[in-house]
A and B are shown apart, each in its own frame.
Chain A
């Protein structure tokens, strides 16, 4: 039972280790999906996804860096 709980915790931390990063990533994917399906601008959706992912990474790094310095 203890191992099962640890496995589930490991799986959870793999994808939701940083809740803010997870939430923002899902928002970026939702926006890219909307652009792809509603506007039919597929290249724009792909580029938006890349820029969004980079922005989420930068946000997560700056937030962690601020926390580490405080």
Chain B
């Protein structure tokens, strides 16, 4: 039986990170559906999910052959690179120095782009399906990495997969109900939280992989997340452009 303190961060990180990725993929699939209907959209998305399933099925047994310390170190370093990069962008967005992610704008842009490509191509159905396939594959790869990264280091693949699956079901249910881009999902806030969590996991796994574990075991993850959150919020305050002083 996995302790809650061990499983909760893996489930939470996988759920939040996957929500962001699934929302982004859904926007493109919806754009495809609006141009050519649901058949090529769901066909392309389904094919991409099949490819991702093969990737996961292939990687899972391979990872079990790698010594745990080496696995934790490699995954920790990759998570650090991914998490710090993500957190950097989130801080810049929160400070107003980088454009916010806007699903409605992306939907409009992608619908127009796919519409142009479909009109100019003989095999319009295939072009539309390929756009959905590509979007789901690219965003799905990030989900696969996140699940492997937060789950493989300590036998938490099942909790991490549950988190990702829950995100997929939640976003798809909501998306298919409203049939509009999920622009009201607080994506930028979620990305900030994901950056904090992935960076915390990155420091945690890299330390474990180096044979330098944190005191407190898995509870240290919460402390690391708080540390990154405080630093990130401080950085937002430090780099946010100040309004120009009004001269009388």
Interface residues of A (CB under 8 A from B): 3, 6-7, 10-11, 14-18, 21-22, 25-26, 29, 32-33, 36-37, 42-43, 45-46, 49-50, 53-54, 56-58, 60-62, 64-65, 68-69
B57–chain A nearest beta-carbon distance, Å: 18
Specify the chain B residue showing the minimal Cβ separation from A13.
Answer: B85
Contact residues, B41-99 vs A (CB, 8 A): 77-78, 80-82, 84-85, 87-88, 91-92, 95, 97-98
A48–chain B nearest beta-carbon distance, Å: 9
A26-B77, A49-B212 known; A14-B199 Cβ under 8 A: no
* Dominant SS among interface residues on chain B: helix
Interface residues of B (CB under 8 A from A): 77-78, 80-82, 84-85, 87-88, 91-92, 95, 97-98, 130, 133-134, 137-138, 141-142, 145, 199, 202-203, 206-207, 210-215, 224, 227-228, 231-232, 235, 239, 241
In the complex, the answer to whether B81 meets A61 with C-beta atoms within 8 Å is: no
A46-B212, A62-B239 known; A53-B85 Cβ under 8 A: no
- A-B residue pair count with CB separations less than 8 angstroms: 115
User: A45–B130 Cα gap in the complex (Å)?
Assistant: 47
In the complex, the answer to whether A53 meets B81 with C-beta atoms within 8 Å is: no
Specify the chain B residue showing the minimal Cβ separation from A48.
Answer: B212
> Contact partner of B137 among A7, A32, A60, CB < 8 A?
A7
In the complex, the answer to whether B141 meets A57 with C-beta atoms within 8 Å is: no
24 residue pairs of the A-B complex, CB under 8 angstroms, read: A3-B130, A6-B134, A10-B138, A10-B141, A11-B141, A14-B82, A14-B85, A15-B78, A15-B85, A21-B88, A22-B81, A25-B80, A25-B84, A33-B210, A37-B211, A45-B207, A45-B212, A46-B203, A46-B207, A50-B224, A57-B84, A57-B88, A64-B88, A64-B92
